[in-house]
Amino acid sequence: MKTNNKDLPLDQFIDFALYDKVNGYYMKKNPFGKEGDFITAPNITRLFSEIIAIWVLTFWKSIGSPKKFNLLELGAGNGEMMKVIIETLKNFPECFDICNFQIHEKSEFLKKRQQLNLKSENITWIDDIKINNSYPTVFLANEFFDALPIKQFFKRNESWVERFVNLKDEKNAKFNEQPINIKDIDKDLGFEISKDQEIIEYSPSSFEYLKDISNLIKKNDGGILIIDYGYLNLKMEETLQAIRNHKHSNILEDIGDSDITYNINFNLFKRFIDQFDDLNFIITNQKKFLTSMGIIQRAEIISENIPFSKKSDLFYRIRRLIDEKQMGELFKVMLIKKHKNNFKTGFEID
């Protein structure tokens, strides 16, 4: 890979490693499934996507069953979730017939995979979520935000430094640090991100997306369902990691061949959304969300007429999604919506 600047802020390095047009990780390979580097919930069992479809249906009713609405998935992976959502919503023509199915995807490579997987469906791929129609939009972001580049800042004594990556010799990339005035960052973001922190980890592009989406929800109604791994502590942690072949790897090795990701601090997302007067949020974990949406009952109905081996495989897959030691607790589910909408489906369980 070629990059002109030898010292890149961490977010620019990650953007380069993941999204460089020629050699970026997401631009040249399918990272999903057994052959890839990780497996996402829609690829574990289609029941996950069916549950999301039913959730979309109930949320659409909560915003007054508008005569036209957009269902926009951010970063649709291999298109599997959207495929099952469409198949499921076809059983509810009053919702399906008026739904505008859309996908926002940064990777041309993955967009082609999605178009192949969804070729029989009526879907629009959109580059800029701001240039959209004026219909209410339901945004879905399953493992979208964790793939966006982050910045890291560390408190050293009483001052702050930002993490950079030196790429002078790409085979021998190194981290280094440069002093930063943290007050400038607080000012840019519109809230004091550095308050009571020793480490700051955040994604500028996440906040850009959240700002645009929040403004669209305010203007046209709708909401965003975010499902991602993360934590709720007030104190931020360093969570940057690289994954290759389903195992942790070194961030500075195999540049362009490893996924780079982090755990979202959902408390930070809350603080960002607090800036929007007429919006609020509810949050739970994946176990509570899926169980309160009836995933176990649905699995029991399906498993009545299938052989025992398939039945045990189905419940093994469900357990991966909801077990507290697996994805159930680690994954959080957050809904951002208008204040006046009291919708709580999927979030009722304390």
CATH architecture for residues 26-147+204-338: 3-Layer(aba) Sandwich (3.40)
Per-residue pLDDT band for 1 (boundaries 50, 70, 90) equals: very low
* CA-closest candidate to residue 72, choices 113, 115, 126: 126
Cα separation of 330 and 70, whole Å? 29
Q: Is the dihedral of CA 118, 124, 128, 134 positive or negative?
A: negative
Interior angle at CA 206, CA 326 and CA 143, nearest 5: 25
Is 135:68 a contact under the CB 8 Å cutoff?
Answer: yes
The model's pLDDT over 259-297, given as tens digits with 9 standing for 90+, comes to 899 999 999 999 999 999 999 999 999 999 999 999 999
Residue pLDDT, tens place only, 131-171:
778 999 999 999 999 999 999 999 998 899 999 999 888 78
Residues 219-244 pLDDT 10s: 999 999 999 999 999 999 999 999 88
Burial grade of 99 (CB within 10 A; 0-12, 13-18, 19 or more): buried
* pLDDT tens digit sequence for 20-47: 888 888 787 666 655 555 578 888 889 9
pLDDT at 44: 84
**E strand spans, 253-320:** 259-261, 264-265, 279-285
Given CA atoms 55, 348, 211, 21 in this order, what sign does their dihedral have? negative
Q: Is 28 exposed, middle or buried (0-12, 13-18, 19+ CB in 10 A)?
A: middle
Domain boundaries, the chain: 26-147+204-338
* Alpha-carbon span 146 to 159, nearest angstrom: 28
What is the chain's percent helix, strand, coil content, to nearest 5?
A: 40, 25, 35
> What's the whole-model pTM score?
0.93
